[in-house]
Amino acid sequence: QVQLVESGGGLVQAGGSLRLSCATSGRTYSAYAMGWFRQAPGKEREFVASITWGGASTDYADSVKGRFTISRDNAKNTVYLQMNSLIPEDTAVYYCAAGGAYSTINYRSWDYWGQGTQVTVSS
């Protein structure tokens, strides 16, 4: 089993930055990829970014490309999401997820989830 714990959320002003962390434990090596998703009130959970454990291949949603950066520290079993130039539309609960080579931008294709961390961007 894989356990995921997010941290680093908070309240920031538009234009500010936050770095989210996802600490992993358990059989993390069995996961091919890690992802970040977010869910705003009244909206479905949407894909933000993903990264593979091996080659660090990354993928981003168009809405965050150029502003967010996903990275991982294999030695620490931790995945990060650096969020810059934040805008109010980024306000959501952010979730860390673990998946396989089959996982896509569809949140239903991912296997394990953290509890989420709130990000609020004020205008």
- pLDDT, tens digit (0-9, with 9 covering 90-100), for 41-85: 999 999 999 999 887 899 999 999 999 999 999 889 999 999 999
Q: Is the per-residue pLDDT at 30 higher than 90?
A: no
Average pLDDT value for residue range 29-34:
82
Angle value at C-alpha 102, between 34 and 108, nearest 5 degrees: 75
Q: What is residue 7's predicted lDDT score, i.e. its pLDDT?
A: 97
Mark 5-26 as b/e (b = at least 16 C-beta within 10 Å). Answer: ebebbeebeeeeebebbbbbee
Other C-beta atoms closer than 10 Å to the C-beta of 4 total: 21
Say yes or no to pLDDT of 91 above 80: yes
